[in-house]
Structures are given as structure tokens and as C-alpha cells.
Amino acid sequence: MNNQKKKELIKKHISEKPKLVKGLPSLDIKGIANYIKNGNAKKILILSGAGISVSSGIPDFRSPNTGLYNNIQKYNLSKPELLFTRFYFNLNQKPFFDTIKIFLEKDYKPSPAHYLPVLFNKKGILLKCYTQNIDNLYKKAGLNEDYLIEFHGTIKNSTCRKCNKKYLTEEIKNDILNNLIPKCTICNGIIQPDIVLYDDDLPEKMFEELDYNFQNCDLLIVMGTSLKVEPFPGMIEDPKDNVPRILINNEIVGSYEEELEERNGKLIEISKERLSKKFKFGHFFNTRDVFVGGDLQNNVIELVKELGWEDEFNNLIDNNNK
């Protein structure tokens, strides 16, 4: 193709900036709120991570200076993720139990972000809420368990690694807080809270309905996650191309550029098709991806205000706290 032809083609593309997807008036909170208010979102999926519980008092993993990964340097691991592998747990349980103490030290309260799916469910527009969090705060906010998938397990329950006897973590909490490894009353095996470790298989149940939900959702809300732990990074690629996606987070993650940069120089290949499904914030061809930076709790409250559901939202929180 000669240069003149190329220029003409580029000009044609530029003058034909694609329209935003149906029902989405603008790429911001207002646009998403209008999309919902006008009845376009009846099957909302939420994907969330540790960032939504930071304001409740539980640190996330990867935030610089404050994340839990800052505190585990003392174990001299080549990378902090090792501490949460089954391999390492089998060698040495103490760092694991030390690190999870923080989840048991206080009676943490849900944040506004935990109440968002509760509100959507009340409005009949929540399809499912998938979380990587283990802190049980969605349930404390009153989210119906049928609408919640805790991908990485929950701190609430525990199991003996040897005989599978089930415990409530409340029963072994004092041992953990007193630096003792909790042991089974039946077989003396180690009792571990039901947190999924790297190398563990995720229960089949987690994947039930997953394809269906992602193919049928009409809005994806991602918040408080660095999208570093599979399968979440892959999950954002799954909604149909005409489905708006909003990322409410301190930093941009899961983006086309980030992915390109990460893969650069590495042997890991990512297909063009997958790459094309990453977030396209700021791109000329972005027709549906909204990034809202800054504190996510303020932005959740802003979204609820834009929806005009503030009173109902506040009542919901007040009633749950009574």
C-alpha cells in the first residue's frame, strides 16, 4: 500500500471514531449511572478485591507502604506470593498464621463498596458479585449468599488438613491470636482457615455459571483489585463487546498498555484476541471502558448519588448497623 493510500485510510478511521456502545452516553460515572437508570443494566457483575476493605481497616496486599506484602519482608521470601502457596504452607505454617492474624483481630465493618451489590440486588439488577476477598464483609453487609462467589475462600470457616473436620474459625481464633498453630481435637492435624492458597484447586462450584454469567451480563464493575491473580485478569475479557466496563480503583489495571508492557521482553505470549479485550481507557477505539481513579469509597458514593438512590443506600447501611 502506498503512503497516500495509507494516509487516506488513517484519515477515514479518524473521522469515523466509533460511537459508544448502546445506552452509554459518556465514559464517566455519570454515563454509567445513566446507563443503569435508563434500564440498560439488569444483569450487573461485580468483580472486587482487597482495595474495597482497606477503609474497613484491613490492608490490601500490594498497595505501596501499607499493603500486607510490606510486612512479610522479614521472612526473606524471593517473592511475597510464596507465603500463600500450598508448598510453603506445608513447609512452614507460622508465617501464614502470623499474617492472617490481622483478619481476626477486630470486628471489621463493611464499607460503602460492600453495600453496592446489596443495593443492586434489592433493585433486582445484580447478576453476581465475584470477590477475591476472604474477609466475610459482603456477608456482614447482608449480601444474599446466592449472589456471592468468594473465589479465594473465606476466613469464616476452617478445616482440619488431615481429617477434614469442619470448624468455625471463631473456635480457633484464640490459638491463632496467641501464636499457636491450631490443632484438630479429633486427629491433632493442623486446622487451616478456608483460604485458597496458590497451587490449590478452586472448587468446581466456582466455575459453575461463570461462562453463562459473563456472556449474559450487561455491565461489569471492577473495583479494588490489582488484577494480578488469575482467574480475575482473564475474567474482565469475557463480557460481550457491547457491554460497558467500569474500573473503580486507585490505579489503572488490566489495560491494553499495561499488558503490553508486562509481556514486553518476556516469553509469555498473549493472543491478539485476548489483548484486544483488555481495558482500553483513553484509546481512540474505546467505546465502553470507564476508569474512575482516586478513593473508591467516594466514587461508589458518587455513583449511588448519580443514580438518585442515596437515601435508600444510607437506610440500608443504617438498618444493617442497628
* Stretch of residues binding ligand CNA (CB under 6 A), selected from 29-37, 167-175, 246-254, 306-314: 246-254
- Using alpha carbons, select from 153, 151, 162, 158 the residue that is nearest to residue 193: 158
- Using alpha carbons, select from 220, 225, 217, 214 the residue that is nearest to residue 48: 225
Q: Does residue 31 interact with ligand CNA by CB under 6 A?
A: no
Q: Does the N-terminal peptide bond of residue 231 adopt cis geometry, omega within 30 degrees of 0?
A: yes
Closest approach of Cβ 10 to ligand CNA, in Å? 35
Q: Does residue 193 interact with ligand CNA by CB under 6 A?
A: no
Angle at the Cα of 147 from the Cα atoms of 145 and 151, rounded to 5 degrees: 80
Residue 173 Cα distances to 37, 63, 95, 154, angstroms? 44, 27, 16, 14
Q: Which residues contact 58 (CB under 8 A, 6 or more apart)?
A: 50, 102, 103, 108, 135
Nearer to ligand CNA, 53 or 121 (CB): 53
Residue 1 DSSP class = -
* Stretch of residues binding ligand CNA (CB under 6 A), selected from 23-31, 33-41, 92-100, 218-226: 218-226
* Stretch of residues binding ligand CNA (CB under 6 A), selected from 158-166, 178-186, 220-228, 257-265: 220-228
CA distance 51 to 245: 18
The rounded Cα 299 to chain-centroid distance in angstroms is 16
Nearer to ligand CNA, 40 or 136 (CB): 136
Q: Does residue 50 interact with ligand CNA by CB under 6 A?
A: yes
| Binding positions for ligand CNA, 115-154, rule CB under 6 A | 132-135, 152
Angle at the Cα of 85 from the Cα atoms of 261 and 173, rounded to 5 degrees: 125
CA dihedral 216, 220, 283, 291 (to 10 degrees): 170
Closest approach of Cβ 137 to ligand CNA, in Å? 7
HEC per residue, 238-303: CCCCCCCEEEECCCCCCEHHHHHHHHCCCCCCCCHHHHCCCECCCCCCCCCEEEECCCHHHHHHHH
Q: Does residue 296 interact with ligand CNA by CB under 6 A?
A: yes
Contact residue for ligand CNA among 225, 244, 254, 255 (CB under 6 A): 225
Q: Does residue 249 interact with ligand CNA by CB under 6 A?
A: yes
- Nine-digit cell at 265? 521482553
**13, 114, 152, 283: which is the annotated catalytic residue?**
152
Q: Does residue 67 interact with ligand CNA by CB under 6 A?
A: yes
Give the binding-site size for ligand CNA (rule: CB under 6 A).
Answer: 29
Closest approach of Cβ 229 to ligand CNA, in Å? 5
Q: Does residue 61 interact with ligand CNA by CB under 6 A?
A: yes
**13 a catalytic residue:** no
Residue 77, strand partner residues:
none
Closest approach of Cβ 14 to ligand CNA, in Å? 33
Q: Does residue 54 interact with ligand CNA by CB under 6 A?
A: yes
Active site residue ranges? 152
Q: Which residues bind ligand CNA (CB under 6 A)?
A: 49-51, 53-55, 58, 60-63, 67-68, 132-135, 152, 224-226, 228-229, 249-251, 253, 295-296
